Amino acid sequence: MDLADYVTDFSLPLRDPHQARPQVNGVSFAGGVRYRVRRARRRSRRRLAYLDSMFPWMRSGFRYQEARALLELAPDTRFFSLWELTDPFPAPVQPLAQFPRIAARDEITDAYGVFQLFLAGLVGMKPSGEGPPHPMEGPDMSAFLRRSGVRLHGMIYPGGGLTETTEGIAQAAALTRRLTTTFSYLPEVLENVEGVTAVDKAMTDTRFYSRSDARWAQTEKVVCLFAADAPPRKGVDVALKAFAGLPADDFHLHVVGPHEHRAAELPQELATFHGWLSPDELRDLHRQTHVFISPVSAEPPGPAGTLTGVTDGFPTQTASDAMSSGCLLVSANPRADDSVLHAGVHYLECEADARRLRECLSALTRDWARVRGIAQAGSAQVRSRMDIRHGVAAKLAHMGIR
């Protein structure tokens, strides 16, 4: 028997389906499932499986890049997803329901996944309680993991079920006790949860997002880029309000993400709304862009169990990718995080306020040489400190995987 024998309807809509559908109609979240599992023979070397809720998902950025790096550094890694998506990936991505069967067949010794909500489901914590499962929540595989001896490792990132509340930290601690290894770079997790392994904030594919300085030859306008999803904490409202007061002769804004419905808020000569772009298309846009703007803010905590109260990591994934490509970052820093980037040296800090952002952008043209110097310093810092292969190699070493 394997998990696929316990399939049931799981047709909850995703917030952003992106042509997704549940694999094998989804996986049963009902408790009390019993497995007849044969413990795999002891292998001379460990073999890893990467588990995810939605994979491969190019929009997710770091998850897609991390999976690519895992395949590069540990080529026999197997990949599994709860939801089937259409993004291309250079290795087969199997339904998560098939993991127990394939793990026994291929002698998988270790599994790795990210996000508190997904991992909590896998270890049987049932974060949704008595309600319907969240689309990101993993199915309960605790019985299989226990009986097969497969070690589960996980990474707690900002968001993904983690909130900076007493409840959120308590859940992170409970999850850590159930995982073989828990990784994080977040101070609130490292300082308040015992047993977490600290790793660097390395999440950008610097080979793919290679630096180009061609943008600095064209300075007739300050070309800016905003690329993020729709939650208010991402700052699209701030960005659009800031540009509403800037002259189209001197500035242009590219907006990437699910914001096409807001195109009427700015004149066409001042802004271009692209919708979602592929990584290749976004990288091409980087090369035309002087400034990546990221007016992010902390999300206010909501009632217990609502998964609100998220503060994104700094810099965000899209910001670090743009910096690797050579763009100047103008960003808020609600975490006051200076572990990698220093304001005024590697980026320009500006609070998430439309008037302040407008003033900051207007001031750039007064000292263009300084702007270019900060952009180049920031790019060099990201490329030396935040490459995804560095982060993946460190995690594999902690897991004992060559």
Distance CA 117, CA 171 (A): 10
pLDDT of residue 69: 95
- Which pLDDT score, from 0 to 100, does residue 322 have? 97
Q: What is the pLDDT of residue 129?
A: 80
Spans in the chain with pLDDT lower than 50: 1-41
Q: 56-78, pLDDT tens digit by residue?
A: 777 778 889 999 999 999 999 99
Residue 18's pLDDT is what?
A: 40
Domains and CATH numbers, the chain: 22-33+45-202+387-399 (3.40.50), 214-385 (3.40.50.2000)
For residue 184, give every residue at least 6 positions away whose Cβ sits within 8 Å of its Cβ, in sequence order, or none: 155, 156, 157, 190, 193, 196, 197, 198, 199
- Note the pLDDT tens digit of each residue in 97-155: 999 999 999 999 999 999 999 999 999 998 888 888 888 899 999 999 999 999 999 99
**What are 28-40's pLDDT values in tens digits?**
333 333 334 444 4
Tell me how far the alpha carbon of residue 278 is from its chain's centroid.
Answer: 15
Query: Closest by alpha carbon to 208, among 109, 152, 280?
Result: 280
Which pLDDT score, from 0 to 100, does residue 304 have? 62
